[in-house]
């Protein structure tokens, strides 16, 4: 499918014979190392974890039907000078904080380029790229967009990036007839240089990852890299209801002239895609029109209530996906079919994102373990039905420099008891204890039991931590599993 503004003409860089060091053997780092090795680079992989913790990653890189031109080398358990002494290029995994690793500071001083896995993967990608970022909603929007684009004539629609499938794993299989929907994070974007999506989307922006970026301004600057190389042939989708993204309409501040498209739940006159009276409207770009000059009549897309994704926060994700579908000239009827047929349970990355786990004695248990920042928890609190329901909120974990004051009014009006679990609960208590009863618990099992004992029929027990999980759990999925296991024990 050829769409104006989505064609992509690139000349792949020649990595053959280049000496490239990959820092961090996470999924994306391992994928980047494999891709670069296939392209003829001499790859050295380094990670501070020892070999016994990285055996699976090393085995994956060794298990190949085509031996690389240069065997992959390793420095494990540390980063030493050998990692950079002969490097032409350094590729960092998203989890590697460049300014906090001394050997990378040395590499910077020597003028060795340091880029992300997203940068190198996109540089060899022949397919046009749709890049979706924001503080919350990226995964849902990427999956919805992927389902909408599958209604088109693209040979293949590939959903990759921060969503779970590393971009580098799939990029060499793609052609100009395909399209990539990439969920991209601030960690991936901060070390990009020439990353150039045909369509970018910034869904919203609020403080997050300040333990890594240190300031909100630095976090914003990382997110802005999603459109830094876009031109007048490209598009950016923005949320007219979010103060920060609404202010990005004046993109001349960064020297680009990308075409902005707004979506909104409330501002009908400014937005191209919006909700009104429970229905979603958008300009039907796929329909024939005598002239593309001037305003286009808005078309009915679908009824909000017939889409299975629950919660007011998911409406933003739906509207942004519709906007991208419109830019790609997907017919309105096809967009409607994709939205009505979308089931969150069919998509593993959407598990633990405001997911109703069980109802016991009239009490709903909602798993929102994927809410790892304040904005996501705020959205979850707003999405619990207000009629007759009070919330027993389980929060806490590894604090990323959060400011909890945006939760005060919602907690005061909607939360019966706040149950704190995790490493840095005192910060949350200091911010919220004046407006709600707070309890501390050492385990998820006890947190769920306390919530259940305090709740009455019609209440909601909500796990929405607003924090990362790795103070007590492997990841947010491990935390969600503990929550669901505790609920199962209540049933028993």
Question: Which residues, 6 or more positions from 434, have their beta carbon under 8 angstroms from its beta carbon?
Answer: none
**Cα angle vertex 302, ends 296, 305, to 5°?**
145
Per-residue pLDDT band for 66 (boundaries 50, 70, 90) equals: low
For residue 183, is pLDDT > 80?
yes
CA gap 22, 152 in Å, rounded: 36
The CATH number given to 119-346 is: 3.40.1190.10
> What are the φ/ψ torsions at residue 22 (nearest 5 degrees)?
-105, 120
Per-residue pLDDT band for 255 (boundaries 50, 70, 90) equals: low
CA gap 16, 413 in Å, rounded: 61
- Which residues on neighbouring strands pair with residue 115, listed in sequence order? 91
Task: Give the pLDDT of residue 1.
Answer: 37
When the pLDDT of each residue in the chain is averaged and rounded to a whole number, the result is 88
Task: Give the pLDDT of residue 65.
Answer: 47
Decide: 87 and 44 in contact? Cβ < 8 Å. Answer: yes
CA gap 482, 29 in Å, rounded: 29
DSSP state of 301: E
CA gap 29, 96 in Å, rounded: 10
For residue 412, is pLDDT > 90?
yes
Q: What is the mean pLDDT of residues 335-344?
A: 92
Q: What is the mean pLDDT of residues 24-43?
A: 94
> What percent of the chain lies above the pLDDT cut of 70?
90
Q: What is the mean pLDDT of residues 423-441?
A: 90
CA gap 99, 299 in Å, rounded: 49
Task: Give the pLDDT of residue 209.
Answer: 66
For residue 252, is pLDDT > 60?
no
The CATH number given to 19-112 is: 3.40.50.720
For residue 176, is pLDDT > 80?
yes
Specify the range with the lowest mean pLDDT, choosing from 70-79, 99-108, 397-406: 397-406
For residue 441, is pLDDT > 70?
yes
What pLDDT, in 10s, does the model give residues 212-228? Answer: 666 888 888 889 999 99
Per-residue pLDDT band for 402 (boundaries 50, 70, 90) equals: confident
Task: Give the pLDDT of residue 162.
Answer: 82
Q: Hey, where are the domains in the chain? A: 19-112, 119-346, 351-491
Q: What is the mean pLDDT of residues 31-53?
A: 95
Task: Give the pLDDT of residue 249.
Answer: 67
Task: Give the pLDDT of residue 294.
Answer: 46
How far is the first Cα of the chain from the last one, in angstroms, to the nearest whole number?
54
What pLDDT, in 10s, does the model give residues 314-329? Answer: 999 999 999 999 999 9
Per-residue pLDDT band for 354 (boundaries 50, 70, 90) equals: confident
Mapping DSSP to helix (H, G, I), strand (E, B) and coil, where does residue 24 land? coil
Task: Give the pLDDT of residue 207.
Answer: 67
Give the distance, in angstroms, between the CA of residue 277 and the centroid of all CA atoms in the same chain: 29
What pLDDT, in 10s, does the model give residues 360-386? Answer: 999 999 999 989 889 889 989 988 887
Decide: 454 and 392 in contact? Cβ < 8 Å. Answer: yes
For the domain made up of 351-491, the CATH class stated in words is alpha beta
């Amino acid at each position: 499918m050829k769409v104006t503004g989505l064609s992509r003409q690139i000349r792949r860089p020649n990595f053959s014979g280049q000496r490239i060091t990959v820092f961090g053997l996470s999924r994306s780092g391992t994928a980047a190392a494999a891709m670069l090795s296939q392209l003829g680079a001499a790859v050295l992989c380094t990670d501070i974890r020892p070999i016994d913790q990285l055996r699976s990653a090393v085995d994956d890189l060794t298990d190949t039907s085509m031996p690389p031109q240069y065997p992959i080398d390793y420095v494990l358990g540390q980063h030493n000078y050998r990692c950079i002494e002969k490097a032409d290029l350094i590729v960092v995994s998203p989890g590697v904080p460049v300014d906090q690793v001394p050997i990378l500071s040395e590499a910077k001083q020597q003028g060795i380029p340091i880029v992300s896995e997203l940068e190198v993967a996109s540089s060899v990608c022949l397919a046009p790229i749709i890049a979706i970022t924001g503080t919350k909603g990226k995964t849902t929007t990427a999956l919805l967009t992927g389902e909408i684009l599958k209604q088109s004539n693209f040979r293949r629609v590939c959903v990759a990036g921060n969503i779970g499938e590393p971009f580098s794993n799939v990029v060499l299989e793609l052609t100009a007839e395909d399209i990539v929907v990439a969920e991209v994070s601030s960690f991936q974007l901060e070390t990009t240089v020439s990353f150039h999506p045909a369509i970018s989307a910034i869904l919203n922006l609020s403080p997050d990852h300040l333990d890594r970026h240190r300031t909100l301004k630095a976090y914003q600057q990382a997110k802005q890299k999603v459109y830094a190389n876009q031109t007048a042939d490209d598009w950016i989708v923005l949320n007219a209801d979010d103060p920060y993204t609404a202010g990005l309409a004046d993109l001349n501040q960064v020297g680009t002239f990308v075409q902005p498209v707004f979506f909104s739940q409330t501002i009908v006159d400014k937005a191209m895609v919006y909700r009104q009276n429970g229905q979603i409207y958008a300009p039907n770009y796929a329909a024939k029109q005598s002239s593309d000059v001037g305003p286009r009549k808005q078309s009915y897309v679908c009824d909000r209530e017939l889409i299975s994704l629950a919660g007011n926060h998911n409406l933003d994700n739906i509207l942004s996906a519709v906007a991208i579908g419109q830019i790609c000239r997907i017919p309105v009827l096809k967009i409607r079919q994709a939205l009505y047929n979308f089931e969150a349970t069919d998509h593993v990355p959407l598990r633990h994102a405001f997911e109703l786990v069980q109802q016991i004695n009239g009490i709903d248990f909602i798993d929102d373990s994927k809410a790892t920042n304040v904005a996501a928890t705020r959205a979850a609190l707003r999405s619990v039905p207000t009629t007759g329901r009070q919330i027993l909120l389980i929060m806490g974990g590894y604090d990323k420099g959060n400011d909890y004051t945006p939760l005060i009014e919602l907690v005061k009006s909607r939360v019966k008891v706040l149950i704190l679990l995790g490493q840095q609960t005192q910060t949350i208590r200091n911010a919220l204890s004046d407006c709600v009863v707070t309890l501390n618990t050492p385990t998820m099992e006890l947190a769920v039991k306390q919530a259940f004992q305090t709740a009455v029929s019609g209440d909601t027990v909500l796990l929405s931590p607003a924090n990362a999980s790795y103070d007590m759990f492997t990841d947010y999925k491990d935390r969600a599993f503990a929550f669901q296991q505790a609920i199962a024990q209540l049933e028993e």
